[in-house]
Amino acid sequence: MTATRSARLIQLRDAADLTMEEVGEAIGMSRQTIYRYESDNKSKIRRSVLEKLAKVYKTTPEFIESGQHPRPNTPGPNDTVAFIDTSTLKFIELPFIIPAAYGSFLNSCHDRNFGDFDTISIIKQPGADYKGAVVLEVRGNSMAPRYPDRSCHVVRPVSDGNWQHALGVHAISLRSEMFLIKRIVSNLNGMLKLRSDSNGEEMEIQLGDINCMWKVGEATFMPAED
Residue 187 has pLDDT above 90, yes or no: yes
The pLDDT assigned to 137 comes to: 94
pLDDT of 208 over the 80 cut: yes
Q: Which long-range contacts (CB under 8 A, 24 or more apart) does 36-39 make?
A: 36/224, 36/225, 37/6, 37/9, 38/6, 38/9, 38/10, 38/13, 38/222, 39/6, 39/222, 39/223, 39/224, 39/225
The band of 83, judged by pLDDT with boundaries at 50, 70 and 90, is: very low
Q: What is the CATH number of domain 91-221?
A: 2.10.109.10
Q: Indicate the class that CATH gives domain 5-68.
A: mainly alpha
pLDDT of residue 67: 78
Average pLDDT, the chain: 86
Say if pTM beats, i.e. exceeds, 0.75: no
Q: Where are the domains of the chain?
A: 5-68, 91-221
pLDDT number for residue 95: 93
